[in-house]
Structure 1
Amino acid sequence: MKRLLLQICLAWTVSGLLSAAELAEWKAAAAKAVITPTEPMYLAGFANREVPAEGTAMELHAKSLAIEDKQGARFVMVTLDLVEVTYQLRDAVAAAVKTKFGLPEKALLLNCSHTHCGPELRYTELEFMSFTDPLRKERCLRYNAFLTDKIIGIIGESLQHLEPATVSYGHARCGFAMNRRLKSDRPTGDPYLNSPNPEGVVDHDVPVLTVNSAAGKLSAIVFGYACHNTSMSLKQWHGDYAGHAQQMIEEAHPGTVALFMMGCGGDQNAYPRFSPIFSLRHGQSLATAVEAAIDAKPKPIRGPLRIDWQTTRLDYQSIPTAELIEKRLSTGEGYDKGYEVYQRKWDEKRLYAIKNGGLRDHYDYPIQTVRFGSDLTFVALSGETCVDYSLRLKREFTGPGRLWVAGYSNDILAYIPSKRVLQEGGYEAFRSLMYWSNPLHPDKFADTLEERIIGKVGEMLK
Structure 2
Amino acid sequence: MPFSMAVKTLDYTPTWPTYPSLWMGGYAGAPRGNQGQVDRRLRAQCVVIDDGAGPKVMLRIDVVSIPRYVHWAIRSAVVPLVGNNNGNFLIIVSHTHSGPMIGTTRPDPYVMMGLSAADISAIEGTTTVFMNQMIALVQQTLAMARTPVTLWYKEGSTTIGHNRAEEPHTLTTISALIARRTSNNSLFTVLFGYACHPVSRGNDRVFCSDFPGAATDVVSNALGVQALFFQGAAGDQEPNDPHQASQVTNLGTTLGNAVVQMVNSGGWNAVNGPMTTFYSELNLPLSVDLGDPAAVIRARNAYSQRLDDFPNDDFAFRHAERMLDYIHGDGLDRVLPMPIQRWNLGGLNILALAHEVLSEYEVKLQAQTPGWLWIMGYANECEGYVAGNGVLQSGESQHFGYEAGWTDDSTMSGPGSWTTFYAWPAPLKFTPSGAAAPGSTERLIVDACTNMLNL
Shift of 1:121: 1.2
309, 314, 318: which one aligns with 1:341: 314
Counterpart in 1 of 2:408? none
CA deviations on 1:333-378 (whole Å, 9 max, x unpaired) are: 996x7999333222221111122111122233211011001x2001
* Distance verdict in 2 for CA 1:435–1:273, change over 3 Å: farther
Counterpart in 2 of 1:108? 89
Is structure 2 residue 43 aligned with structure 1 residue 64? no
8 Å contact 1:222–1:261 — kept in the other structure? Answer: yes
Shift of 1:181: 1.9
Unaligned runs of 5+ in 2: 396-400, 406-413, 431-439
Is structure 2 residue 173 aligned with structure 1 residue 205? yes
How many equivalent pairs are there?
415
Is structure 2 residue 9 aligned with structure 1 residue 26? no
127, 143, 146: which one aligns with 1:162: 146
Counterpart in 1 of 2:450? 458
Counterpart in 2 of 1:327? 301
Shift of 1:456: 0.4
Q: For the residues of structure 2 that align with 1:388 and 1:92, how far apart are their CA atoms?
A: 31
Counterpart in 1 of 2:158? 174
Counterpart in 2 of 1:7? none
- Amino acid paired to 2:448: K
Counterpart in 2 of 1:313? 283
CA deviations on 1:38-94 (whole Å, 9 max, x unpaired) are: 115111101034221132112101001110113x14321111100012222221122
361, 364, 370: which one aligns with 1:389: 361
Q: For the residues of structure 2 that align with 1:267 and 1:436, how far apart are their CA atoms?
A: 17
* Distance verdict in 2 for CA 1:301–1:334, change over 3 Å: farther
8 Å contact 2:306–2:316 — kept in the other structure? Answer: no
When structure 1 is superposed on structure 2, of 130-139 and 406-415 the one drifting more is 130-139
Q: For the residues of structure 1 that align with 2:15 and 2:380, how far apart are their CA atoms?
A: 25
* Distance verdict in 2 for CA 1:129–1:286, change over 3 Å: closer
> 1:78-89, aligned counterparts within 5 Å?
78-89=59-70
Unaligned runs of 5+ in 1: 1-23, 183-198
- Amino acid paired to 1:107: N
Other structure's SS at 2:367 match? helix
- Amino acid paired to 1:51: R
Q: For the residues of structure 1 that align with 2:339 and 2:199, how far apart are their CA atoms?
A: 26
Is structure 2 residue 356 aligned with structure 1 residue 356? no
Is structure 2 residue 418 aligned with structure 1 residue 433? yes
Is structure 2 residue 129 aligned with structure 1 residue 146? yes
CA deviations on 1:201-244 (whole Å, 9 max, x unpaired) are: 11100000111222323222111111100101231100010110
When structure 1 is superposed on structure 2, of 312-321 and 383-392 the one drifting more is 312-321
8 Å contact 1:222–1:258 — kept in the other structure? Answer: yes
* Distance verdict in 2 for CA 1:103–1:317, change over 3 Å: same
When structure 1 is superposed on structure 2, of 304-313 and 40-49 the one drifting more is 40-49
Counterpart in 2 of 1:16? none
Counterpart in 1 of 2:119? 136
Q: For the residues of structure 1 that align with 2:106 and 2:231, how far apart are their CA atoms?
A: 29
- Amino acid paired to 1:443: A
Percent pairwise identity: 24
- Amino acid paired to 2:132: D
TM-score by length of 1: 0.84
TM-score by length of 2: 0.85
CA deviations on 1:4-59 (whole Å, 9 max, x unpaired) are: xxxxxxxxxxxxxxxxxxxx620111111111111151111010342211321121
8 Å contact 2:39–2:207 — kept in the other structure? Answer: yes
8 Å contact 1:346–1:434 — kept in the other structure? Answer: no
- Amino acid paired to 1:179: N
Q: For the residues of structure 1 that align with 2:195 and 2:312, how far apart are their CA atoms?
A: 28
8 Å contact 1:208–1:221 — kept in the other structure? Answer: yes
CA deviations on 1:175-214 (whole Å, 9 max, x unpaired) are: 11200124xxxxxxxxxxxxxxxx8311100000111222
Q: Which has the higher Rg, Structure 1 or Structure 2?
A: 1
Other structure's SS at 1:85 match? coil
Other structure's SS at 1:364 match? strand
**Root-mean-square deviation (Å):** 2.4
Q: For the residues of structure 1 that align with 2:305 and 2:158, how far apart are their CA atoms?
A: 50
